Amino acid sequence: MAIKFNADEIFEMAIQAESNAYKMYSDLAKKHVDPVVSAELMKMAEMEKSHENIFIKMRKELPEDMRTATFNPDEDATLYLQAVADAEVGEGSPEVAKSMSGRESFEDVLKMAIGLEKQAILFYLGIRDLVPERLGKDKVEHVIKEEQSHVVLLTNRLNSLK
C-alpha cells in the first residue's frame, strides 16, 4: 500500500518529531548527573519547543488545498521514507534517552544531537523530493531550513568547547 502525503501531514510529522525531541532532551536533562550538562540539555529542549511552535504556525498558514490534496510517491521512495521514519534512534526517540547513562560529556551529547538532526534532515529531504510544487514543496523546504539551522547552532556550540 502506497503512502500518501500532503503538506499538512508533513507538518504534523515535523511537529510530532519536535515534541518528541523536546521530551527526549528534557528527560535526559533530568537524568544527567552534571548540572551544567543538564542545564544545556534543557536549552536544547527549549530549542526543540521553539521549532515545534514554528511548525505549528506554518501549518496553520497552509492554504486549504495543501491541507487536503494528496499524492502517491513511487514504491522506492515510500520504502526509503518508511526506513528513515522507523529508525529506532531518530530525533526524539525514547530509545536515545534510555540508552544514555546520564554521565555523558556535553561534547558527546552535542555529537548525538547533531547526528539526530542530520537524520531528520535526510527524512525531510526525501519528503521534499516527493512533494509536488502545488502541494507545498516550498513549505517542506522551510522545515528543512529550520532543521539545518539547528545543526548549525549545535555545531557552533560543539566547536566552542574545543
Mean pLDDT score across all residues of the chain:
80
Predicted local confidence at residue 155, as pLDDT: 96
d(CA 54, CA 50): 6
Q: Stretch 78-83: mean pLDDT, rounded?
A: 60
Q: How many residues does the chain have?
A: 162
Q: Does domain 7-160 have CATH number 3.40.30.10?
A: no
Q: Stretch 72-91: mean pLDDT, rounded?
A: 59
Asked if 158 contacts 113 with a C-beta cutoff of 8 angstroms, the reply is: no
Q: What is the pTM assigned to this prediction?
A: 0.76
Q: Is the predicted pLDDT of residue 127 greater than 50, yes or no?
A: yes
* Residue 149 CB coordination number (10 Å): 13
Of 55 and 85, the one with more pLDDT: 55
d(CA 90, CA 88): 6
Predicted local confidence at residue 11, as pLDDT: 79
Q: Where are the domains of the chain?
A: 7-160
Q: Stretch 97-124: mean pLDDT, rounded?
A: 86
d(CA 95, CA 16): 16
Q: Stretch 99-120: mean pLDDT, rounded?
A: 88
Predicted local confidence at residue 1, as pLDDT: 43
Q: Is the predicted pLDDT of residue 96 greater than 70, yes or no?
A: yes
Q: What DSSP assignment string belongs to 20-72? A: HHHHHHHHHHHH-S-HHHHHHHHHHHHHHHHHHHHHHHHHHTS-HHHHH--B-
Q: Stretch 101-119: mean pLDDT, rounded?
A: 89
Asked if 114 contacts 158 with a C-beta cutoff of 8 angstroms, the reply is: yes
pLDDT tens for residues 41-78? 999 899 889 888 888 988 888 888 777 766 555 566 65
* Residue 70 CB coordination number (10 Å): 12
Burial-class residue 121 by CB neighbours within 10 Å (0-12, 13-18, 19+): buried
